[in-house]
Amino acid sequence: MVQLHLGLERAWRQMVAAFGACQAMRHFSLVGLVLLVATVSSVRAQFDPSDLDPFNRNSGIRQSWNDLDPFRPALQIQTEVPGARGLWFHNKTNKTISVAIVYFVRGSDSISAGDYNLPVSTPDAWIVSGWYDVAPGKEIAARTGDLTNRYYYFYAEDGKRHWGGDHTYYVDARNAFSYDSRDRDQVKRVKGQGFVARGFQKIDTANATGFTMHLK
């Protein structure tokens, strides 16, 4: 925005100078008019309305409304090479695999809002989230950045086969979902919505910053 302001100011000075030139060139009014029109065109070229558009990814204002929901499964970048950080799933089969995960989120006694900390208490949570679709031979990061927990849980299926364990959580068999498994009201709600019980397998990352689970 600072660069935009400086550009407009510079263009305005050019326009004023051009107008002064027109006044001084009364006997050559046509030349002065051409100069003024060229300067106005320069102003328009330096001003991009998209800089003020909050949906423009380059504006620096906001990228997506989805950023406001930290627990919603986002579109994942699929790759053939896992990163050093995050919780990755590698599909070594010839079918697309859908993965659901469970991870711990520590609560807080306050929520940051700009320069202020609001005294709002949020409890610890075990978030159940899915689905993360992994194409054959590809990998995705279900959790990005340094892993902050030692233990995670996952369940995966490809339509016929499944990967899981003996830790029961509820999943939506058809749609993306996310809920706190420690909140009884939320568990009651998802069960009422037709979520089905699935057995999840425990993952021990040994406190590593990154971990890859190979599905084969």
Among residues of the chain, what percentage have pLDDT more than 90?
Answer: 53
Q: Can you give the pLDDT at residue 77?
A: 46
Residue 145: what pLDDT? 93
Whether residue 96 is predicted with pLDDT greater than 50 in this model: the reply is yes
Distance CA 165, CA 142 (A): 18
- The string of pLDDT tens digits covering residues 195-211 is 999 999 999 999 999 99
Query: What is the band of 52 on the pLDDT scale with cuts at 50, 70, 90?
Result: very low
| Spatial contact of 165 and 199, defined as CB atoms under 8 Å apart | yes
Region 23-40 average pLDDT: 50
pTM here is: 0.61
Q: How confident is the model at residue 37 (pLDDT cuts 50, 70, 90)?
A: low
- Percent of the residues in the chain that have a pLDDT greater than 70, as a whole number: 57
**Strand, coil or helix: 43:** helix
pLDDT (average), residues 181-189? 96
How many C-beta atoms surround the C-beta of residue 151 within 10 A?
12
CA atoms within 13 A on the CB side of 105: 20
Task: Give CA–CA dist 193/188, Å, rounded.
Answer: 9
User: Is 39's pLDDT higher than 90?
Assistant: no
pLDDT exceeds 90 at position 215: yes
Hey, CA dihedral for 158, 160, 165, 166, is it positive or negative? Answer: positive
For 82, list phi and psi in degrees, rounded to 5.
-70, 155
Residues 6+ apart with CB under 8 A from 59: 50, 51, 52, 53
58 vs 178, higher pLDDT = 178
